[in-house]
Structure 1
Amino acid sequence: MKITKEEVRNLFKHLENGDADSFFANVSANVDWTVMGTHPLAGHYTSLEDFRQNTFKRLAPCLTAPIQLVLKTVFIDGDTAIVELQATSQAKSGWDFDNQYCWIIEFRDKKIVRVRAYLDSNMVARLIAEEEESTKVYFNRG
């Protein structure tokens, strides 16, 4: 059974409403998730837990509020969906985190099994670098 635009839109409503756990309940525990780019979150993750720990949970401390995701576009071809998302929040250092994402999502039995995520690498790298630099602890050896 193929995925529909309506099903994808309903799934993403969870993220739009700040209910990430309900969204991720529709993702395979063994998801194959690749975050493209050359920033600290880029990489190939082979489990949902690995993905969440190394992306969503790493971003959270860098922001003043959770990212607000808004689904902009959905394209469906069989069991593959291509979605464009707008992600907004504010960096702790005060600038607007306004990123655009494109995810290519493969479904099996209505569950997400593979994702390739594209985003603004420079923006994510800046966000992570600023936060990690500001929280460094320096020890006086004297």
Structure 2
Amino acid sequence: MTSEQSRDLVKRAWRAFSTRDRDVIAPFFTEDAEWLAPPGNATADALGGSHHMVGRDAIAHFLTVDFPRLFVADVSLTFRGFYADGDVVVVEETMEATLAGGNAYRNDYCFVFELRDGQIHRVREYMDTARGRRMMQGAVP
């Protein structure tokens, strides 16, 4: 894929994520896709899940079932940039939401998407884990 095609694919994937529809989201990922976040991040801990999801089904489940249990309202993303080089796309964003416990959430993220055969094969997610934990205290899904 060209860099432009890769960037377009990831932008379409982000739009799909917001639908919370498994049948719309899952096809963006390879069957053996991985999503890696920092160990001990507050989202995985609050949901009792793993920081390393493996497989299209696990990732789609997180985005459609688990994520909305914790981030319950007012979810908004402000994209700072989409940068592509061949099959690698880097996304900078700020996410804001209301958490299940009523706390406000706001954190900056950087995602590195690695594509294979026109699908997302690996996502590496980076965020301020300490800040996330502070905001999540009391957020029980």
Q: Which has the larger radius of gyration?
A: 1
CA deviations on 1:32-81 (whole Å, 9 max, x unpaired) are 21112422516222113223445763342233316333432111111000
Matches within 5 A, 1:76-87: 76-87=84-95
Higher helix proportion:
2
Change (3 A) 1:99 1:24: farther
Aligned length: 131
TM-score w.r.t. length of structure 1: 0.72
TM-score w.r.t. length of structure 2: 0.72
Kept in 2, the 8 Å contact 1:62–1:91? The answer is yes
**Two-structure CA RMSD over aligned residues (Å):** 2.8
CA deviations on 1:81-108 (whole Å, 9 max, x unpaired) are 0111221111244332112211100111
Q: Which amino acid aligns with 1:73?
A: G
Q: Distance in 2 between matches of 1:87 and 1:58?
A: 16
Q: Which amino acid aligns with 1:33?
A: W
Identity of aligned residues (%): 20
Q: Distance in 2 between matches of 1:10 and 1:55?
A: 15
Kept in 2, the 8 Å contact 1:62–1:127? The answer is no
Instruction: Report deviation, 1:31.
Output: 0.4
Gaps of 5+ in 2: 45-49
Kept in 2, the 8 Å contact 1:103–1:118? The answer is yes
Which is worse superposed, 51-60 or 88-97?
A: 51-60
- Are 1:110 and 2:118 counterparts? yes
Q: Distance in 2 between matches of 1:105 and 1:122?
A: 23
Q: Distance in 2 between matches of 1:56 and 1:19?
A: 8
Kept in 2, the 8 Å contact 1:12–1:71? The answer is no
Could you tell me which of 28, 31, 40 is aligned with 2:33?
31
Kept in 1, the 8 Å contact 2:102–2:139? The answer is no
